[in-house]
C-alpha cells in the first residue's frame, strides 16, 4: 500500500532525509519516531504529495507520489500536526464544506458527513459550533475531515499532541478500528507509549535516516536494551547462591547485570542484554544449583529502545 525507497530531501544546505525507506501494508499501523528534526514530518509530506523528493521513490497504492500526485491524493487522508477550524461553522457545516471540496454531492455527501461524525463519536454534537470544542474533540473532527472521502491510506502527523489521557485512549482505539477496516496508517508521535499500544511496526529516524524499521518484537529481540528481571527462589539460601552466581558471571559482550536487590527469597536487578542473553542468566542460575521458582523479565519499553537507538537525543 505504501512504499518509501531511499527518499532524499534537502532544504538548502540542510539534509532533511538521507535515504529513508519503510513500508506499510493494508491493516498496518506504522509509527515514525525520532527526535525533532529527524525527518518525520518531511517523510509524511512527501507521501502526501506535498513535497517532491530530491531522490528516491515513494508510492501509494502503486502510484508514484511525484508523478501521479492527483491519483495519490484520491487515496490518502492527511492530517497535519497543526490545522485550523472555521469557528463560526457548526461541525456538520464544516464537514459539508470539505465534502463539497472532495466532490461529494447530494445524498452521498450527507451520508459521508454523518458517517464520519459517527465514526469519531461526534454525531450528537453535529449542530455545535467549532469554537466551543475541546482539544480532543477538535482532533477528532479534523480526523473526520481526513476520512470524508474514504481514503485507503491515513497519514497522521502527531495526532495525539496536546490530548489528555482519555482523549489519547479514544484516539488510539479509533486508529486501531481504522486499521482493522484494512486502512494503512502511518503516524508520527513523541508519545512513545501510545505508539507501543497501537502500532504494528515502527520506523525509528535519526538525522534523516532510518536506524530501525520493523515490528516491535523485532526491535526488542535485536536490541541490547535494559530489561528488568525479577527472580523468586525456593528459599533464602537459594537467593544467596543466586547472587553469588550472578556476581561471578564472566563478562560477555553486550551483557551487563546491574545492582541486585534482595528481599528474602526474591531478587530484582536490571540487565542490559538481548532476550537470548537474559535467557542465559536463567540457565546459569539453574545449572549453578539455585532453585528457581519463577524468573520474570520485563521487556525494555519503547522509550528505552528509542533512547538507545538515537543515543539519548530525544526531544
pLDDT tens digits for 203-259?
888 889 888 888 776 666 555 556 789 999 999 999 999 999 999 988 777 678 889
Which residues is 60 bridged to in the sheet?
2, 63
Listed by start position, the domains of the chain span 2-217, 224-299
Q: Is 199 left (phi over 0), alpha (psi -120 to 50) or beta?
A: beta
pLDDT tens digits for range 112-136: 999 999 988 899 999 999 998 888 8
206 vs 5, which has greater pLDDT? 5
| Residue position matching grid coordinates 535485536 | 222
| Residue-averaged pLDDT of the chain | 87
Which residues is 212 bridged to in the sheet?
204
- Give the strand order in the sheet containing 55-60: 14-24, 2-11, 55-60, 63-64
- Name the residue among 250, 235, 237 with its Cα closest to residue 281: 250
Query: What is the average per-residue pLDDT within 64-84?
Result: 91
**Per CATH, which fold does 2-217 belong to?**
Rossmann fold (3.40.50)
* Beta-sheet pairing, 256-257 with 266-272: antiparallel
pLDDT tens digits for range 161-176: 777 778 788 888 889 9
pLDDT at 276: 77
The dihedral formed by the CA atoms of 267, 270, 274 and 277, expressed in degrees to the nearest 10 = -40
pTM: 0.74
DSSP state letters, 54-100:
SEEEEEETTEETTT-HHHHHHHEEEE-SS----TTSBHHHHHHHHHH
Question: CATH assignment of 224-299?
Answer: 3.30.70.260
Separation between Cα atoms, residue 266 and residue 242, nearest integer Å: 10
pLDDT tens digits for range 272-300: 777 778 888 999 999 999 999 999 887 66
Amino acid at each position: 500500500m505504501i512504499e518509501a525507497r531511499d527518499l532524499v530531501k534537502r532544504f538548502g544546505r540542510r539534509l532533511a532525509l538521507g535515504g529513508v525507506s519503510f513500508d506499510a501494508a493494508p491493516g498496518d499501523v506504522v509509527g515514525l519516531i525520532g527526535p525533532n528534526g529527524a525527518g518525520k514530518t518531511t517523510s509524511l509530506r512527501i507521501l502526501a504529495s506535498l513535497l517532491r523528493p530530491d531522490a528516491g521513490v515513494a508510492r501509494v497504492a502503486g502510484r508514484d507520489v511525484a508523478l501521479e500526485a492527483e491519483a495519490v491524493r484520491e487515496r490518502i487522508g492527511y492530517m497535519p500536526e497543526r490545522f485550523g477550524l472555521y469557528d463560526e461553522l457548526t461541525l456538520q457545516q464544516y464537514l459539508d464544506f470539505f465534502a463539497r471540496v472532495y466532490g461529494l454531492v447530494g445524498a452521498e455527501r450527507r451520508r459521508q458527513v454523518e458517517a464520519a461524525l459517527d465514526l469519531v463519536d461526534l454525531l450528537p454534537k453535529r449542530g455545535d459550533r467549532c469554537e466551543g470544542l475541546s482539544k480532543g474533540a477538535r482532533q477528532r473532527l479534523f480526523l473526520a475531515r481526513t476520512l470524508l472521502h474514504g481514503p485507503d491510506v491515513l497519514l497522521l502527523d502527531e495526532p495525539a499532541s496536546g490530548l489528555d489521557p482519555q482523549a489519547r485512549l479514544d484516539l488510539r482505539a479509533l486508529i486501531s478500528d481504522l486499521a482493522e477496516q484494512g486502512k494503512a496508517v502511518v503516524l508520527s508521535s513523541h508519545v512513545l507509549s501510545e505508539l507501543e499500544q497501537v502500532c504494528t511496526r515502527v520506523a525509528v529516524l535519526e538525522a534523516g535516516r532510518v536506524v530501525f524499521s520493523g515490528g516491535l518484537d523485532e526491535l526488542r529481540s535485536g536490541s541490547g536494551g535494559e530489561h528488568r528481571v525479577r527472580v523468586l527462589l525456593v528459599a533464602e539460601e537459594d537467593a544467596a547462591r543466586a547472587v553469588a552466581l550472578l556476581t561471578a558471571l564472566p563478562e560477555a559482550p553486550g551483557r551487563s547485570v546491574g545492582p541486585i536487590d534482595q528481599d528474602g527469597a526474591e531478587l530484582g536487578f536490571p540487565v542490559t542484554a538481548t532476550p537470548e542473553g537474559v535467557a542465559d542468566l536463567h540457565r546459569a542460575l539453574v545449572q549453578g544449583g539455585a532453585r528457581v521458582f519463577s524468573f520474570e523479565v520485563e521487556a525494555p519499553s519503547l522509550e528505552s529502545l528509542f533512547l538507545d537507538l538515537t543515543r539519548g537525543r530525544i526531544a
